[in-house]
Structure 1
């Protein structure tokens, strides 16, 4: 498995994974993913197999705020080059490759990069049933988020790294 910076050529595969992993209210639009690809730079990583197929991805802006806000899902208004807090807007694995540790490896790769860029923390929101996965990967459950994204109850997860 290789970890690479995303390109616009990856958009179709990313959208297929996104739509397979999230319901219509939660899933990002094609336009929002194109915006993320163009504006997140190295904060958008894809995992590929030896044949170049995308297995999964992780992305999010680096900002001054400590936690993810709903506005971040629609528009990337800032993305710090160094410092700040690293957000994860999405981490998703192709259904064909789930259960093989790819999600944990993507989180490790994202954390490695965040440490190099001197981020203070990594934060994300998740549904209650996913809290144990993130706790297993060193994140702490900070409690219910203010997010109303997709009309779900989200939990703030955070990992202090700096």
Structure 2
């Protein structure tokens, strides 16, 4: 397993993996990823399977940094809202290729994000998830704050917060 930050050269692989993991309307579009990679490539955590000869991207997480306390829908498409000196690391998604799930890749991506946020002296991380995943994020110390203001993809989301 190899974990690293993204570059613009990873755009196609990131977009393809996102489209495998999320349905249309919820999945981030390539142009949005392009903007994110332009503004905050060091807030992408890419996980590669080193057993594959071509270092296959199997999981990733990303999100901007902000002083805002809550994750809002506007943040998904407004990469310019990133504030490198911000207090909170937002996590927009934790994506794993369907064939590579249950192997620890998502854990590695999220752990890398948590570690970096601690190193950068953030107050913590904020993400939204579906109800079925609340218990997963709770294992990392995230606290369920209830239904999120986000309606991204016409879905009910729950806001989770990990405070350091």
- TM-score norm. by structure 2 comes to 0.93
Partner of 1:43 in structure 2? 43
Q: Select which of 69, 72, 76 maps to 2:79.
A: 76
Q: How many Å separate the matches in 2 of 1:125 and 1:88?
A: 8
Show the 5 A alignment for 1:1-162: 1-50=1-50, 51-161=54-164
- TM-superposed deviation, 1:137: 1.8
- TM-superposed deviation, 1:52: 2.0
Q: How many Å separate the matches in 1 of 2:78 and 2:18?
A: 17
Aligned residue-pair number: 161
Structure 2 residue ranges without an equivalent (≥5): none
Q: How many Å separate the matches in 2 of 1:118 and 1:82?
A: 10
- Secondary structure of 2:19's aligned partner: helix
- Secondary structure of 1:24's aligned partner: coil
Which segments of structure 1 move beyond 4 Å, counting only runs of 4 or more? Answer: none
Over aligned residues, Cα RMSD in angstroms?
A: 1.2
- Secondary structure of 1:119's aligned partner: coil
Per the alignment, do residues 83 and 73 of structure 1 end up closer, same or farther by CA in structure 2, a change over 3 Å counting?
closer
- TM-superposed deviation, 1:155: 0.2
CA-to-aligned-CA distance 1:75-107 (integer Å, 9 cap, x gap): 112323234100001110111110111111111
Q: How many Å separate the matches in 2 of 1:85 and 1:159?
A: 10
- Secondary structure of 2:162's aligned partner: strand
Q: How many Å separate the matches in 1 of 2:28 and 2:101?
A: 20
Per the alignment, do residues 82 and 115 of structure 1 end up closer, same or farther by CA in structure 2, a change over 3 Å counting?
farther
Q: How many Å separate the matches in 2 of 1:148 and 1:5?
A: 28
